[in-house]
């Protein structure tokens, strides 16, 4: 009861074009902590404040983009139950054995109608955030190494059939709709923001003809002043900024969109309200979507609806 | 699944010595929105951004302090189940009919071993936050009327037998321990912080001989700059500040403690980390409790352990 | 000695296309305080925290733009001396009698080679900032009415012969160069930032073929969080934002450029370093001017070099 | 004209009890940059953003406290003129040759009636702030090493005859009074805040029977969030905080007072308004001095009026 089942986004695996360049970028500029490399030559990262062994994994490939996005569930019993429920719902699942990813237990993987691979898992080793579990200080020096986000926060996926993906997350995994953008027919959603707990979004979708695309992975910052600092660090490191610093109308969060060296967009995000499953979703009409996405500019830039990896 | 059962703190009813003076204080200085008065002469408030009809209720009495603290649950089915589970656990419960509080459904009330009345309820009317559910702006003018917190956030209760109260919240209601302060015996908790979802605390207890006391009700602010603004407004309105602006080591939140005109302590609180039920609780030893409570002063002031209502 | 002669920017008079629409904009949205109207139908404003009667004056005209920009000097003796020095330097001056502007003493007006009218004056009535001169509070309710800047801060002028204007400000009026952008010839300045005291700029120029144009009048905010709030208020009031929130590389200040209802650009500006006359000026080469102006985007938008009034 | 004569506080020399412990403290915790040591075994520091070679100098002694406090003047001509003017005013002066302090020109030293040694100098080597003078970034990594203030900002001196010291600064050196606290007789000042340019204080005095004492040296931070960070770093390094984070009513600045390892109080200070010599000074009556000094607590702590070095 209370918070059970799906707890939060747990890890995301991304493809990059040049591994060492990306390791340098994610380690030194974004300021993630490298926690390991595996036999497949994947590099594992976590934010300084995350306690689980990894949340962001990269591997080298010819094409940038998303491999899979995963949620941590509260127990192996929940993992088994979700697998059974998914199958009963008509979703094929695959078991990936414990240890296939470093310090990570067995995973249940499934593809959703938008063309993305989603995973669930119950176990990942607690390696701590660098502060002791007894009498800790408020933060460590790692909190100021690079942009240094607090956590891997959410993902925005682009693909078709987003309403079918939404139903799986709602009906089987207990997610709920927080905000959505409705097309001119006042029926079809252009975009949806879903939460599994109290974040304004743990996962979002934009309707898009090509399946399996990713718009951005978001990392949470602590304050609007940290958003400014992130933008400064991007400039100092010649990181291409797509948009920001600004605010989203949707979720109210403050934000910068920028690109990693492979062209994967990432977001450094702060704030946004806390949402609850008993709340009425907020609706945006498509004529106001510009303000919904970029609250200050009140219009989408060209890249927003077109550049995905 | 995901976030079910107990969702969040929903309402708290406090006793004040002079109703109209308190209405003025909570309305004009703290900046809550008055949403109604009932036949019992209770005055109902919500924060500007809360959507449910009320979260903070005051009534006039000879003695300040807490009447009851309530959590919203996700459904009437959960309410029924919790009532049955509490009774099975040996906790007496009482049903309070819908409408006894304005715009609020049936409540299940029970007394916990620390001597406090706790309530559960499933229904409270959505009156909105003053922004439309279609194409809203980011905030309204009410966000700058008085201190203007975002939500009623948590409570700190003082009383005996806190480990017995803790067990009810954990075993029956699905809460989990986030942080705790342990006495010299390394076994007995002096204080505990409990969460029902992802806030670092929805409820906290300090061991105290006298039952049923309240240390403070906390209201959430959006930023450290809003904490400064809150302190400024307190000074402009001659509100007695107990401590702050400062940071807590426990939860890492930033804070001011101050007193309402009746001597009830309240907190204007910002930040703190998000916690999850799979996280190992953080332990504080009693020799470091000063730093745990007031991170900068590193010592408790006299009032902290003695002044309660 | 110390701070004498020219003290600070004192007032600026702008032309607007619709007086009442502009009064509403500058009063309600920007949050200036209206302090009077005169027989010429000019409307006078000050920021909430300025003590002198007025700093921003508008009049209705067929064409938006600048009438004149003025500096307060420390005494009538300085005013007389500056007039004599200007004439000795070959600059024609005109005396405008006390009272021609509300609550303002005699002014010395002159035209500079870039085609702008500049004024000096020694007297403007102290009407206070709404706080008493004995035991004041830290701020008043006016600090939260609209965007509510602290002061009229500086102006950016566009015109030819900026090096000749610069020499007048340096040689006669005691200004000094803080930063400049140099064209490919490494000799000719594209833009210059000048200070009369410790602000990184009290006045700036961009080389431009058409004389007498204004790029923006800037108003100072107290913090980066107030810059966000300003951008939010602009969106809520459908004010067109040209650029921002962002940072300038030049001066390091944070900023938003936006347009008033007549198309006059204004800036809400925060921070920037304090400069001193013994400091070596900072030079920007024209290939880096994008980063100098918009530190995060690192390129000029089309409007920056073309849209002036 | 404009800003001439006395430009700003330039250097302060303090006595510490253990040199290497203090070097570690000022370098690693406060985050000053060590720029040299001289034959007298003095250690020289500057803040990361200051351009002149040094602003804060320490030497080991048996007793903590102030050696001297110095202002930079705009030219050697001004230095000569100030020396002549001081002598004409009846103040004895002493010339200290160039090079007696590292990278610092000739100094004129004099004792003021409050018992403090004040110095003037015109030359100190520009060593830069670590950013180039051509196309600089907005800040460097040094801006996040320790507390990392922007500049040595001001000093508060304790001693007798403060009105006589005030007259020297006003009549000879061109300072002006910004705020003052008046005793019950409504005539005698308990405390005065003086500015030589546009800072709300470059120098302050509190009336005190013992001559030559120092209350604190202040270092400027950029934002209220940096004040929080400073307090956090103090706790992490077991630095004793005297008061704060809080706001001053006088100057409106935000602040922490804390002690160096020798018991010298220092301040990490942010904001405060910009003042001008044409402004009417703000007066505080002694019954409101608590709010004037500590705006939120509204009372002086015991240490404020008694602990000086």
Give tens-digit pLDDT for B87-132. Answer: 999 999 999 999 999 999 999 999 999 999 999 999 999 999 999 9
| CA distance linking residue A172 with residue A196, whole number of Å | 11
3-state DSSP call for residue D141?
helix
Do A299 and A163 share a domain, yes or no? yes
Contact by Cβ (8 Å): B227, B245: yes
Residue A136 is assigned to a structural domain of this protein: no
Do D206 and D285 share a domain, yes or no? yes
Q: What is the ipTM of this complex?
A: 0.96
Residue D140 is assigned to a structural domain of this protein: no
Per-residue DSSP letter, C186 = S
Per-residue DSSP letter, B151 = E
Residue C66: closest CA among C257, C211, C243, C220? C211
Which member of B53, B158, B216, B269 is catalytic? B216
Do B231 and B114 share a domain, yes or no? no
Contact list in D for residue A236 (CB cut-off 8 A) is: 137-138
CB contact under 8 A, A228 and C254: yes
CB contact under 8 A, B232 and C138: yes
> Is A248 a residue of the active site?
yes
DSSP A40-94: T--EEEE-TT--BS-SEEEEE-SS-EEEEEEEEES-HHHHHHHHHHHHHTT---E
Chain C interface disruption, residue of A231, A232, A235, most C CBs within 10 A: A235
Do A159 and A114 share a domain, yes or no? no
CB contact under 8 A, A231 and C297: no
Contact list in D for residue C55 (CB cut-off 8 A) is: none
| CA distance linking residue B197 with residue B8, whole number of Å | 7
With CA atoms as reference, the chain C residue closest to A255 would be C245
Which CATH number belongs to the domain containing residue B26 in this structure? 3.10.180.10
Which member of C11, C53, C116, C154 is catalytic? C154
CA-CA distances (angstroms) from residue A303 to A108, A243, A257? 34, 9, 10
Residue D137 is assigned to a structural domain of this protein: no
| CA distance linking residue C79 with residue C90, whole number of Å | 17
Structure tokens at B205: 């207890």
Per-residue DSSP letter, B211 = T
State pLDDT tens for residues D272-305.
Answer: 999 999 999 999 999 999 999 999 999 988 888 7
CB contact under 8 A, B126 and A5: no
CB contact under 8 A, C245 and A241: no
Contact by Cβ (8 Å): A291, B135: yes
| CA distance linking residue B171 with residue D231, whole number of Å | 39
Contact by Cβ (8 Å): A206, A161: no
Strands C213-221 and C265-270: parallel
Structure tokens at C4: 């004498």
Of the partner residues A7, A134, A295, the one whose CB lies closest to the CB of residue B276: A7
> Is A154 a residue of the active site?
yes
Of the partner residues A137, A225, A232, the one whose CB lies closest to the CB of residue D223: A225
Q: What is the pLDDT of residue C1?
A: 59
CB contact under 8 A, B7 and A277: yes
| CA distance linking residue B41 with residue D280, whole number of Å | 51
Contact list in A for residue C225 (CB cut-off 8 A) is: 224-225
- Cis peptide, bond prior to residue D245, ω within 30 of zero: yes
| CA distance linking residue D60 with residue D309, whole number of Å | 14
Q: Under 8 Å CB-to-CB from C154, ≥6 apart: which residues?
A: C9, C199, C201, C202, C203, C204, C217, C218, C269
> Is B121 a residue of the active site?
no
Residue stretches of chain D with pLDDT short of 50: none
Residue A177: closest CA among A155, A204, A150, A151? A204
Domain final residue pick, D127, D142, D176: D127
| CA distance linking residue D51 with residue D129, whole number of Å | 5
| CA distance linking residue D296 with residue D248, whole number of Å | 8
Domain final residue pick, A125, A140, A164: A125
| CA distance linking residue C248 with residue C254, whole number of Å | 6
| CA distance linking residue C57 with residue C45, whole number of Å | 6
Of the partner residues A228, A246, A247, the one whose CB lies closest to the CB of residue C224: A228
| CA distance linking residue A10 with residue B189, whole number of Å | 32
CB contact under 8 A, A197 and B2: yes
Q: What is the mean pLDDT of each run of 10 residues along chain C (309 residues)?
A: 92 98 98 98 98 98 98 98 98 98 98 98 98 98 98 98 98 98 96 97 97 98 98 98 97 98 98 95 97 95 84
The CA distance from C232 to the nearest CA of chain B, in Å, is 7
Phi, psi torsion values for D44, nearest 5 degrees = -105, 135
Structure tokens at D299: 């009372």
Do A214 and A118 share a domain, yes or no? no
Residue D135 is assigned to a structural domain of this protein: no
| CA distance linking residue D6 with residue D246, whole number of Å | 30
Q: Which domain holds residue D20?
A: 6-127
> Is C154 a residue of the active site?
yes
Q: What is the pLDDT along chain B (309 residues), one digit of tens a residue?
A: 589 999 999 999 999 999 999 999 999 999 999 999 999 999 999 999 999 999 999 999 999 999 999 999 999 999 999 999 999 999 999 999 999 999 999 999 999 999 999 999 999 999 999 999 999 999 999 999 999 999 999 999 999 999 999 999 999 999 999 999 999 999 999 999 999 999 999 999 999 999 999 999 999 999 999 999 999 999 999 999 999 999 999 999 999 999 999 999 999 999 999 999 999 999 999 999 999 999 999 998 888 878 899
Contact list in C for residue B137 (CB cut-off 8 A) is: 232, 235-236
Chains interfacing with A (3 or more CB pairs < 8 Å) = B, C, D
Do C28 and C115 share a domain, yes or no? yes
Do C180 and C92 share a domain, yes or no? no
Kindly report the CA angle at B196 between B192 and B200, in degrees rounded to 5? Answer: 55
Q: What is the pLDDT of residue D301?
A: 83
Which member of B103, B119, B248, B269 is catalytic? B248
CB contact under 8 A, D137 and A223: no
Per-residue DSSP letter, D185 = T
Outline where chain D has alpha helix (H).
19-24, 76-88, 162-171, 224-236, 289-293, 302-306
Q: What is the pLDDT of residue B307?
A: 86
Q: Which of A14-28, A146-160, A290-304, D40-54 has the lowest mean pLDDT?
A: A290-304
With CA atoms as reference, the chain D residue closest to B239 would be D296
CB contact under 8 A, A225 and C228: no
Domain final residue pick, B127, B143, B167: B127
| CA distance linking residue B47 with residue B34, whole number of Å | 9
Q: What is the pLDDT of residue A1?
A: 58
Contact list in A for residue C224 (CB cut-off 8 A) is: 224-225, 228
Q: Under 8 Å CB-to-CB from B1, ≥6 apart: which residues?
A: A4, A5, A6, A78, A173, A174
Contact list in B for residue C138 (CB cut-off 8 A) is: 232, 235-236
How far does chain D reach from its first CA to its final CA, in angstroms?
A: 38
The predicted model gives A211-234 an average pLDDT of 98
Residue B51: closest CA among B100, B86, B103? B103
The CA distance from C256 to the nearest CA of chain A, in Å, is 10
Outline where chain C has alpha helix (H).
19-24, 76-88, 162-167, 224-236, 289-293, 302-306
The predicted model gives A263-269 an average pLDDT of 98
CB contact under 8 A, D228 and B225: no
Which member of D11, D154, D180, D215 is catalytic? D154
Strands C151-159 and C203-207: parallel
Q: Under 8 Å CB-to-CB from D87, ≥6 apart: which residues?
A: D93
- Cis peptide, bond prior to residue C164, ω within 30 of zero: no
Contact by Cβ (8 Å): D67, D144: no
Q: What is the tally of structural domains in chain D?
A: 2
Do C167 and C242 share a domain, yes or no? yes
Of the partner residues C234, C254, C296, the one whose CB lies closest to the CB of residue A241: C296
With CA atoms as reference, the chain B residue closest to C222 would be B225
The CA distance from B138 to the nearest CA of chain A, in Å, is 6
CB contact under 8 A, A175 and B2: yes
Half-sphere exposure for B47 (CA within 13 Å, toward CB): 22
Do D279 and D168 share a domain, yes or no? yes
Residue labelled with tokens 């996700």: B74
Chain A interface disruption, residue of C222, C223, C228, most A CBs within 10 A: C228
Residue D146 is assigned to a structural domain of this protein: no
State pLDDT tens for residues D101-128.
Answer: 999 999 999 999 999 999 999 999 999 9
Contact list in D for residue C249 (CB cut-off 8 A) is: 135-138
Contact by Cβ (8 Å): A247, C228: yes
> Is A296 a residue of the active site?
no
Residues of A with CB under 8 A from a CB of D: 137-139, 144, 223, 225, 232, 235-236
| CA distance linking residue D253 with residue D200, whole number of Å | 9
Do C165 and C51 share a domain, yes or no? no
Phi, psi torsion values for A7, nearest 5 degrees = -90, -45
State the average pLDDT for chain A.
97
The CA distance from C41 to the nearest CA of chain D, in Å, is 29
Contact list in C for residue D137 (CB cut-off 8 A) is: 249
Do A155 and A293 share a domain, yes or no? yes
Residue A145 is assigned to a structural domain of this protein: no
What b-and-e string marks burial along A116-141, b requiring 16 or more CB atoms within 10 Å of the CB? Answer: bbbbbbbbbeebebbbeeebbbbbbe
Do A218 and A72 share a domain, yes or no? no
The CA distance from B236 to the nearest CA of chain C, in Å, is 7
Residue D167 is assigned to a structural domain of this protein: yes
Contact list in B for residue A137 (CB cut-off 8 A) is: 249
Contact list in B for residue A276 (CB cut-off 8 A) is: 3, 7-8
CB contact under 8 A, D139 and A232: yes
Residue C298 is assigned to a structural domain of this protein: yes
CB contact under 8 A, C224 and D224: no
> Is D267 a residue of the active site?
yes
| CA distance linking residue C231 with residue C240, whole number of Å | 10
């Amino acid at each position: 009861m209370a918070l059970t089942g799906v707890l939060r986004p747990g890890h995301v695996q991304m493809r990059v074009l040049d591994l060492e360049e990306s390791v340098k970028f994610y380690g030194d500029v974004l300021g993630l902590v490298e926690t390991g490399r595996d036999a497949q030559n994947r590099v594992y990262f976590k934010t300084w404040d995350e306690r689980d062994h990894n949340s962001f994994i990269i591997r080298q490939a010819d094409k940038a983009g998303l491999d899979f996005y995963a949620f941590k569930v509260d127990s192996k019993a929940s993992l088994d139950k979700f697998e059974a429920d998914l199958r009963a719902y008509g979703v094929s699942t695959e078991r990936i054995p414990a240890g296939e990813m470093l310090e990570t237990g067995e995973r249940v993987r499934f593809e959703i109608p938008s063309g993305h691979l989603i995973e669930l898992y119950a176990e990942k080793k607690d390696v701590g955030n660098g502060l002791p579990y007894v009498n800790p200080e408020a933060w460590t020096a790692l909190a100021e190494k690079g942009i240094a986000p607090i956590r891997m926060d959410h993902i925005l996926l682009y693909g078709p059939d987003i309403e079918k993906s939404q139903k799986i997350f709602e009906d089987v995994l207990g997610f709920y709709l927080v905000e959505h953008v409705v097309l001119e027919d006042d029926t079809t959603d252009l975009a949806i923001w879903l939460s599994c707990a109290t974040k304004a979004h743990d996962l979002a979708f934009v309707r898009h003809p090509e399946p399996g695309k990713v718009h951005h992975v978001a990392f949470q910052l602590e304050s609007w002043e940290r958003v400014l600092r992130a933008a400064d660090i991007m400039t100092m490191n010649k990181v291409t900024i797509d948009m920001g610093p600004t605010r989203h109308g949707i979720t109210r969060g403050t934000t910068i969109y920028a690109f990693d060296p492979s062209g994967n967009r990432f977001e450094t995000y702060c704030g946004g309200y806390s949402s609850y499953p008993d709340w009425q979703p907020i609706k945006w009409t498509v004529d106001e979507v510009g303000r919904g996405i970029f609250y200050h500019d009140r219009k989408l830039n060209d890249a927003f609806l077109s550049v995905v990896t």
